[in-house]
Amino acid sequence: MLRKTFLPAIFLLLAYGFTVSADFKTITAGVAIFLFGMLSLEEGFKTFSAGTLERILKASTNNVAKSMTFGVIATSIMQSSSLVSVITISFLSAGLLELASGIGIIFGANLGTTTGAWLVAGFGLKVNLSAYAMPMLVFGIILVFQSAKSLKGAGYVLAGLGFLFLGIHYMKEGFDSFGQTIDLAQYTMSGYAGVVIFAGIGAAATVVMQSSHAMLILILAALATQQISYENALALAIGSNVGTTVTAIIGSLGASTDGKRLAVAHLVFNVVTGVLAIAGIYQLMVAVEWISARLGIAADNYTLQLAVFHSLFNLIGIVVMLPLLRPLVRFVEKLIAAEEVEIERPIYLSGASIEIRDAAVEAVKKESIRLYDLAAEVITDGLSIQRDALESEDKLKHVLKKSTDVIDEDIDDLYERKLKALFAAIVEYVIQSRGGYAKGRMKEELNSFRQAGQHVIEAVKGVKHLRKNLTRSLQSDDLVVRKEYDRLRKLILKVLRDIEGVRTAGVGSRSVLPLDRLKLEIEEKTRQFSEGLDTLIRKEGIDVYTATSLMNDISYCKETCWDLVEAGSVLFSESDPDDRDAIRSIALDEHEIDAMIADDGERVAR
């Protein structure tokens, strides 16, 4: 109920906000563009996963010291800890990094961001990355249109960065009116109360301005004009350090679980550092004074002293939090639980049965049959046929007549969750038992079940390929093409039903190789389909592109049917175990079926 009403409620709320405030519209558009940038960035980094970037990242972040150094250097170059943290989140979401390494980078980024204070204080330099947003977008999108994978990936990364900056720009624009109303002088206050309040103001102002650098400039300006006291300026810097995490939090909204965990760890780190700095602000001031004297910084040069302070409290944060890195990882992992992905687990392959030889073979057989049953369901879904059609006695044409709506199931997801995991478990079990005690006939039996499983998987893959055009045909008004795809669906459904028939007939069925007859039918039918394509082009007027697609799909259909028959022959043909080899040795293969059809053709011609 809550889920159903949540989205419409958010939409209504946003729509109301848009009508009331133009600034709100700009801010939310900024957030949307920013999040789109994150998606694009993630897409780009995915292209590079398992490639050079992953190798570089792994090599440069395989321990905490390295990942921290990486964070320091990256932030010093980019001059934005927010950007480094959102990029780290997208690395995590793309599976390029581990959470502990990500947190290490964040620790480093906090220190790296203090170089900004040194640059601003020392040289009055401000790197404005948002000016690069437009060219980045243009170059990025041009690269996205390239066919080379690496260029496309680079394009997504570049466009992603461009969108990030653009999003930040809009957020800033939107918040501008709020920013202008911030008059720091009116809050001047001394003592701890002043420190806490100014830290809060610093955090809020950084959220508003979306830049700790901009905040730093504001602090320095206020300090130079003596609008605020030195003590309040330090508190603002502490608050700014906490406020800057909001960008990472926004960035983690569409990220993976690990991305969200990183954003929380970032917040925890900065809040802890902030609390420590507030608590020991007067001691820190003494330390800053001492360090400044050693560095030759004049006692009245507050800007450089602020840079010293900024570096010092972040360094203290790192020193305090570094030993707590593992507990922090555990804490965020507990706080944000991984999304449960329902993966099909084996039922029969229990650890105990592997030790008992006959039980092991039986367990593999039962699990393989389970794999087949699950695959049959995925296949019927893929063909947009109701699952009960397999067991019903309705004629095939009636079933197809009823099955005109596309079954909206994510076949790739079903394949990954239900079949791949189960097949992997079967393969692992077979390998384990083969490595141990399985020999001779038992080894062959186990192998044949593994191969049957492979055929089942291939059959599903065939349907996955077929589904795209099949779904299109079901949604199209072109009855000729739809009829052709119905024929393919009909053949696969027939194969599934015939296998089901053999399965239920079981022991005592008169036929020695009951499914070999199906092989002949598959070959004859798919040949007819292929030969009929010429007529379809000439008489029914279907275009050559559709015909080519059909040609490929006939081939997928044929492979799927063969795979199902091969799997069914192993899993459901009940026979005396002593005769199994002999029976399999006379089973007909594709060439022999081809030869049979060719012989028939010649006989008819004569």
Partner 1 sequence: MKIQKLLDKLKDILSADRQAQLEKYKSLKKVLKSLRAEKKGLEKDLSATNDTERQQEISARLKVISMQRKKGLKLLKELKEERRRAK
Binding site residues, partner 1, CB under 8 A: 510-513, 516-517, 519-521, 578-579, 581-583, 585-588, 592, 596, 600
Of the candidates 489, 472, 491, the residue with the CA atom closest to the CA atom of residue 381: 489
Q: DSSP 3-state assignment of 79?
A: coil
In whole angstroms, how close is the CB of 489 to partner 1 at the nearest point?
21
Evaluate whether 38 touches 76 at the Cβ level (below 8 Å): no
Comparing CB distances to partner 1, the nearer of 54 and 521 is 521
Of the candidates 162, 230, 239, 226, the residue with the CA atom closest to the CA atom of residue 198: 239
Residues 6+ away with beta carbon under 8 Å from 512: 575, 583
Distance CA 194, CA 182 (A): 16
Distance CA 244, CA 260 (A): 16
Comparing CB distances to partner 1, the nearer of 185 and 582 is 582
Comparing CB distances to partner 1, the nearer of 49 and 575 is 575
In whole angstroms, how close is the CB of 579 to partner 1 at the nearest point?
5
Comparing CB distances to partner 1, the nearer of 272 and 513 is 513
In whole angstroms, how close is the CB of 586 to partner 1 at the nearest point?
4
Helical ranges in 476-588 per DSSP H: 479-505, 516-535, 544-572, 580-586
The CA distances from residue 437 to 281, 387, 433, 440, 562, in Å, are 70, 40, 6, 10, 32
In whole angstroms, how close is the CB of 450 to partner 1 at the nearest point?
23
Comparing CB distances to partner 1, the nearer of 84 and 495 is 495
In whole angstroms, how close is the CB of 147 to partner 1 at the nearest point?
48
Comparing CB distances to partner 1, the nearer of 204 and 588 is 588
Comparing CB distances to partner 1, the nearer of 25 and 494 is 494
Q: DSSP 3-state assignment of 346?
A: coil
Evaluate whether 190 touches 231 at the Cβ level (below 8 Å): yes
In whole angstroms, how close is the CB of 591 to partner 1 at the nearest point?
11
In whole angstroms, how close is the CB of 159 to partner 1 at the nearest point?
59
In whole angstroms, how close is the CB of 581 to partner 1 at the nearest point?
7
Cα 411 to chain centroid distance, Å, stands at 16
Comparing CB distances to partner 1, the nearer of 355 and 600 is 600
DSSP state of 188: -
In whole angstroms, how close is the CB of 474 to partner 1 at the nearest point?
28
Distance CA 263, CA 254 (A): 12
Evaluate whether 270 touches 107 at the Cβ level (below 8 Å): no
Comparing CB distances to partner 1, the nearer of 213 and 519 is 519
Distance CA 30, CA 33 (A): 5
Comparing CB distances to partner 1, the nearer of 505 and 587 is 587
Evaluate whether 332 touches 269 at the Cβ level (below 8 Å): no
In whole angstroms, how close is the CB of 558 to partner 1 at the nearest point?
17
Of the candidates 384, 306, 374, the residue with the CA atom closest to the CA atom of residue 345: 374
